[in-house]
Structure 1
Amino acid sequence: MTSGVLTFLGAAGTVTGSKFLYEEEGQRYLADCGLFQGEAAWRRRNWDDFPVDPASLRAVVLTHAHLDHCGYLPALVRQGFQGPVICSESTATVASIVLRDAAHLQEEDAEHARAGGYSRHNPPLPLFDTADAERAIALFQPVGDRAIELPGGTTVRLHRAGHILGSTFAVLERNGHRLLVSGDLGRQQHPLLRPPVTPPAVDAIVVESTYGNRKHAPLDRERLGRLITATAHRGGVTLIPAFAVDRTAIVLHTLAGLAHDGLIPHLPVFVDSPMALAALNAYRTAIQEKAPELRPDLVGTDDPFDPGDLRLVHSAEESQRLNSPGRPCIIVSASGMATGGRVLHHLTHQLPDRRNTVLLTGFQVPGTRGRSLLDGATSVKIHGRYVPVRAQVTDLPEFSAHADSDELVDWLAASPEPPQTVYVVHGEPDARQALADRIRKELGWLAVAPQHSERVRLW
């Protein structure tokens, strides 16, 4: 009998950095390859050498294209990984966008630090560069909805997860044993995507717990409309930091609905994120091609992302002009947790003005500027300088594309057989423990919350 071993190299004790090393019969595979984000103690781990020789990995399996699930891949390639990266077709498209943007931001942040003299390192260097990102992208091997054999004999099948375009959960199988890695699971009522498919019978499950201790309320469209309308009447700007992948599309789809129903005034809506624009094109292509993961009512519609005066900002010069727009408007810009990107310049200019409103539309990881704003900070540090926070800051967690605690438990309960063990990951400590407790009490399954770098026998 063989005994598979799983090592939790990320997303254990924190929400980010998903990396799960599966080893059996001398073969090594990595499920997800994410960057740590948020608190400095976790971000510093991005610079650690990978704990095993990256060249010894037979393959990487990506569940989806968010940075905390795919963003470490260029660094892994820089350290010697050369195997295939297995993912869905849409993940290959979107992850290419994400990795190129991440490399650009790495290089840009290093240059900002050098010019501003606020780095501890001399000279400041990026974790990876554009060349590393391109080498990683060249390794993508998109697969459809079928089981494929990986180098070394393990098979993998990707199933729809309904979180973002292309998102999947992965089932790896060897010698009759099966390991399921959930990635991030979507909601039953995602406005653009169909919900996750039912999990198959497996021996072990690695499940996310981002909202493991919370339930989502339905989006209060009237409240959102009032917030935007009141800001416009003050002569202010509504600034929406939004994840470029998926969240920007959801925000625009929602704004289009509000405009159609007369719940907000006619306002120009600027999308200022090169990555968001590229991801939006990916969504439009998926709609044109009638991708099966999309909700049926979305396929065949006119542009579902245009609120009536949609303006796509491409150049840096156009972006800079938006720092002083001179009229009420809505600006949607990345990143969603204000960790980088063009939104930082907009925050620098819009936060000090009491007329403006900042709407937070997603989970804010501890240690990010977005979390500081959510927690009521009176100032935030951007590019080495403190910026006063006088604008109204409002949280809209209803926009989350993560399954909540009820949806996670219901999804697990739909499995045809109980697994031997459920490993609860990708959540803050309270959320992970709360979900593990619910799984034990309500399903009667063994559920644990592993620690960072912990190794476990799977079977």
Structure 2
Amino acid sequence: MSEDTTNSELLERVRTEVPSHLDVSEVQYEGPDLVIYTETPEQFAEDGQILGKLARALRKRVTIRPVAGQQASPAEAEGAIRAIVPDEANIQDLEFHSTVGEVLIEAEKPGLVIGQHGKTLREITQEVGWNPEVVRTPPMESSTVDNVRNFLTQERGERRDFLRDVGEKIHREPRKDVDYVRVTTLGCCREVGRASFVFHTPNTRILVDCGDKPGAEGEVPYLHEPEAMPLTDLDAVVLTHAHLDHSALLPLLFKYGYDGPIYTTEPTRDLMGLLQLDYLSVASKEGRTPPYSSEQVREAIKHTIPVSYGDVTDIAPDIKLTMHNAGHILGSASAHFHVGNGFYNVVFSGDVHYEPTRLFNGAVNDFPRAEAMVMESTYGRRNDYQTDTEKSEARVREIINETYEQDGIVVIPAFAVGRSQELMLVLEEAMREDEIPTMPIYLDGMIREATAIHTAYPEYLRDGLRRRILHDDDNPFVAEQFRQVDGGQEMREDIASGDPCIILSTSGMVTGGPIMSWLELLGPNPENTLLFVGYQAEGTLGRRIQSGRTEVALEGDRLTLACRVESVSGFSGHADRAGLEQYVEEMNPRPEHILCVHGDEQATDQLSSALYQKYNVRTYQPKNLETFRLS
């Protein structure tokens, strides 16, 4: 069937589904969405139910766009929009994009721009003919969010062409009947790091994650193997979250010719760009040749198609994707793949935290169907039980108080994304409640920028925290105690020789970055404390120090650590052994097959055995480069 025939038939189908007085001039797939161009956008907007009816009838996500020339001039439209939208929304900017008939409205309170059930948006379209798109002004200024938005604005024309190409591929007729589903492991099996899988059907190959391995330079996913090659023929990439052990090498795909979509959540897209650019910077500073350039990072961002939690999205002729909150970091998701017409369902858990935390609601494990699951096992050993959160927080307060009393400084190696923000909430509350002395909390590395991205997407945060940021004018992340280390080594030396304070610094596993300077400045002093609150992978300096090593090498020099070294569990973004078991126990229905990955050999073996014995499911402890036929 030719493209013209397909579009012609689709156009007639849409016209039969809408009332005769509504114009349908053209239809076009753009990525997973069906875009309807019309000379009567105002009349579409009058009927608040029409989009929902169309989406249900066509089983597609539907967007209405005006035909060029049907809109008011930007000057007229701006005046009308500002008159329609309540002043309390605090509109910060309006950008008109005539090529797609859209107006981007940035406001401090986007809910007031949207209106109840989208009423204000429809009124805008009725009045000016432009299709409004609303974004929130971040409560904290974020160069990453600004740069991504500006970049995507500049690339709107090229991106529309890309989306149309993707749309044609998604909505083509499947070449073959779906009679199998396979998963090939390209990394993170019997190890933590370099997460990567190929998900196969007779028609489709999808890459799930593409990360590096912390502390193990050169150990990358097996992308050169036949199951992954040629990379140019991959139909799609799905990214579960932004941590580098899942996302670091995605730009490498574009270096070697991949030109397709990356599906992930919107905050993951922004965090991915932040962490990948830092990954290049660290490699350069350490004298290593970066595996790709910043241009490939921009290509990855340009090719990202954001997916919101719970939205069922066509990503291939025979596969629908739904992302669900994984509770791990901002925007982290478990990816649910629905294959064929009810043929089979597979869940890639990503990294999960099942219980709610200060930052996030707990991971979702309620899937309509899930015959198989690829499941993380980071804390899968029998004795991998984390301390209760309240006890963990109490222990952190105790260590800080003890260090303060001896005029010492507490330095905490922390992942820029997730654990740092969790600790910021703990420390802000502890000072506000006089449970620890009020003192400066210095943020070194990317922590402040990552925090600003969190505030740009409060809808992905836990309910109570979201309200504090949005409605109560009580944003805990902007407390006056938090101070950015922006003066380089000279500022670090001043802090290290000054009064008691707390330092949150990247990298979380002591594999590079500013934490190395803090080790050198603070490590020889027994009054100071080095406090680990996150997972330290095998092979990292953090794991060696945590295990008792006091002699460490820093840029060729030997350093003897005399500072106090403490570890407090309970702050990890991963579920512990009990949480992983509960995650499976409370799934209904439970998967028939579970592949235990993303854990060392003991963790994957012991979790796999326990799940089989307790829940009578078939479990596997795969090695890298194994292929499993799941149906």
Whether the TM-score (by the shorter chain) exceeds 0.5 is yes
Pairwise CA distance, 1:414: 2.3
Once the two structures are TM-superposed, the CA of residue 318 in structure 1 deviates from its matched residue by: 6.0
CA contact (8 A) 2:180 2:629 kept: yes
Q: Secondary structure at the match of 2:453?
A: helix
- What is the aligned partner in structure 2 of residue 155 from structure 1? 320
Confirm or deny that 1:7 pairs with 2:184: yes
How big is each residue's C-alpha offset from its partner over 1:92-136, in whole Å with a ceiling of 9 and x where there is no partner? 1221211121122122222xxxxxxxxxxxxx4222232222222
| SS class of match (2:463) | coil
From 390, 394, 404, the equivalent of 2:576 is 404
| 8 Å Cα contact 1:272/1:319 also seen in 2 | no
Q: Give how far 1:85 is off.
A: 0.5
User: Which of 205, 211, 227 is equivalent to 2:373?
Assistant: 205
Query: Aligned partners of 1:380 and 1:84: how far apart in 2?
Result: 43
Aligned length: 439
| Cα pair distance change 1:65/1:49, threshold 3 Å | closer
Partner of 2:213: 36
Q: Does 1:106 align with 2:270?
A: no
Partner of 2:396: 224
Task: Find the counterpart in structure 1 of residue 7 from structure 2.
Answer: none
CA distance in 1, matches of 2:478, 2:400: 17
* Residue 271, structure 1, aligned to residue 443, structure 2: yes
Kept after mapping to 2: 8 A contact 1:159/1:197: yes
Structure 2 residue 546 is the aligned partner of structure 1 residue 381: no
Compared CA separation, residues 37 and 13, structure 1 to 2 (3 A): same
Is the alpha carbon distance of 1:254 and 1:37 closer, same or farther for their aligned partners in structure 2, counting shifts above 3 Å?
A: same
Residues 215/306 of structure 1: CA separation in 2 closer, same or farther (3 Å cut): farther
In 2, distance between residues paired with 1:282 and 1:174?
34
Contact 2:203 2:318 in 1 (8 A): no
**Structure 1 residues 387-424: Cα deviation after superposition (integer angstroms, max 9, x where no partner):** 21111110111111211112212222222223231000
Q: Is the 8 A contact 2:331 2:460 kept in 1?
A: no
Which residue is 1:168 aligned to?
333
Aligned twin of 2:451:
280
Equivalent of 1:45 in 216, 219, 222? 219
1:369 alignment partner, one of 541, 544, 559:
541
| SS, match of residue 216 in structure 1 | coil
Q: Report what 1:91 is aligned to.
A: 268
Inter-CA distance 397–307: structure 2 relative to 1 (3 Å threshold): farther
Q: Is the 8 A contact 2:593 2:617 kept in 1?
A: yes
Structure 1, unaligned runs of 5 or more: 111-123
**Equivalent-residue separation in structure 2 for 1:133 and 1:313 (angstroms):** 26
1:429 alignment counterpart = 601
| Structure 1 residues 171 and 339: CA distance shift in structure 2, 3 A | same
CA distance in 1, matches of 2:348, 2:478: 35
Who is 1:188 aligned against?
A: 355
**CA 1:210/1:396 → structure 2, altered by over 3 Å: closer, same or farther?**
same
Q: Which residue of 1 aligns with 2:590?
A: 418
> What CA distance in whole angstroms lies between the structure 2 residues aligned with 1:296 and 1:306?
17
**Per-residue deviation at 1:152?**
4.8
Higher helix share: 2
Please give the TM-score of this superposition, normalised by the length of structure 1.
0.91
Q: How does 1:329-368 map to 2 (within 5 A)?
A: 329-368=501-540
CA 109–199 in structure 1, closer or farther in 2 if over 3 Å, else same: farther
Which one of the candidate residues 125, 146, 167 is aligned to 2:311?
146
Q: CA deviation at 1:199?
A: 3.3
Query: What corresponds to 1:120 in structure 2?
Result: none
The percentage of aligned residue pairs carrying the same residue is 29
Q: Distance in 2 between matches of 1:385 and 1:307?
A: 38
1:46 alignment partner AA:
V
Superposition TM-score, scaled by structure 2 size: 0.67
Superposed CA deviations along residues 257-292 of structure 1, whole A, max 9, x for unmatched, are: 22122221121110011x2111100122233xxx05
- After superposition, the C-alpha distances for 1:137-161 in whole angstroms (9 at most, x for unaligned) are 2221111231111145422111111
- How far apart are the structure 2 equivalents of 1:9 and 1:57? 14
CA RMSD of aligned residues (A): 1.9
Structure-2 residue corresponding to 1:241: 413
Which consecutive residues of structure 2, in runs of 5 or more, have no partner in the other structure?
Answer: 1-177
Q: Does structure 1 conserve the Cα–Cα contact (< 8 Å) formed by 2:550 and 2:562?
A: yes
Partner residue in 2 for 1:177? 344
Write the letter of the residue equivalent to 1:37: P
Q: Who is 2:3 aligned against? A: none
- Whole-Å separation in 2 of the counterparts to 1:217 and 1:66: 24
Query: C-alpha deviations, 1:31-89, integer Å up to 9, x for none?
Result: 11111123x3xx32228653222212111101111111111112222222221010011
Residue 307 to residue 351, structure 1, CA distance change in 2 (3 Å): farther
Secondary structure of the 1:271 match is strand
